[in-house]
Amino acid sequence: MPLRRIYDGKNITTTFHDGYLDRLNRWSDIQEYLPFLFDQACTHPRILELGSRKGNSTLAFLAAAELSGGHVWSGDIADVRLDPRGMARWRNARRWTFIQGDDMDPDVQARFPDEVDLFFLDTSHEYSHTLAELRAYMPRVARNGIALFHDTHLMSWPGYDWTGEKSPVWTALDDYCAETGRTWEDLPGEYGLGIIRG
């Protein structure tokens, strides 16, 4: 299937796949996991991403959605569509719905789909916020879906100083799984990626 080129009103830029390959070849804190995200998104076409920042994970998901006929819903507190170093050139992409706002705001939550195949979380990394997101969004993951959580190994972040033996994301996953009788696995790497399989 040929990939569409995105027209930004002035010129034709790159395909989602070209954007994904560009991000794959540039260092970022999620670079090591981009192939895994892409592969999972190829077989899980309805994707909900919370926390898109510069769009590295977003482009992996969009490249897969272009191949699978899927759709990506992204949420972030900042309007990532306006950042020229991020997602500005893809801001009007047909397979992408971006929702700006606090993902714990009921009005924002209502704008996301009720059921998704892939849920990706990479937001504040604060324990209480992460646990609240798990409780709010995990019920939306379809029966054979998958949920992915970045930064299970992250112990510090500019402006935050977490203490303890495990990252706040790791601890929130442990506690959520204990509450719900589920299990999660950790994909090794520098920053860590948690996985809950449907």
pLDDT in tens, 139-192: 999 999 999 999 998 866 666 666 667 899 999 999 999 999 999 999 989 999
135/129 Cα distance (integer angstroms): 10
Mean pLDDT of 29-46: 97
pLDDT at 84: 82
Query: CB-based contacts of 5: which residues, under 8 Å, 6+ apart?
Result: 12, 13, 14, 15
Q: How far, CA to CA in Å, does 71 sit from each of 31, 142, 198?
A: 22, 15, 19
3-state secondary structure of 31: helix
pLDDT at 154: 80
3-state secondary structure of 119: strand
pTM score, whole prediction? 0.90
pLDDT at 38: 97
pLDDT at 13: 42
Q: How far, CA to CA in Å, does 169 sit from each of 30, 34, 40, 69, 132?
A: 15, 19, 21, 31, 11
pLDDT at 4: 45
Q: CA 179, 172, 20 angle in degrees (round to 5)?
A: 120
3-state secondary structure of 160: strand
pLDDT at 170: 95
> 94-135: per-residue pLDDT in tens?
999 999 999 999 999 999 999 999 999 999 999 999 999 999
177/193 Cα distance (integer angstroms): 15
Judged by average pLDDT, the poorest of 11-15, 54-58, 130-134, 163-167 is 11-15
pLDDT at 8: 43
Specify the amino acid at residue 72.
Answer: V
> 64-89: per-residue pLDDT in tens?
999 999 999 999 999 999 888 889 88
Tell me the domains of the chain and their CATH numbers.
Answer: 16-197 (3.40.50.150)
Q: Residue 193 in contact with residue 148, Cβ under 8 Å?
A: yes
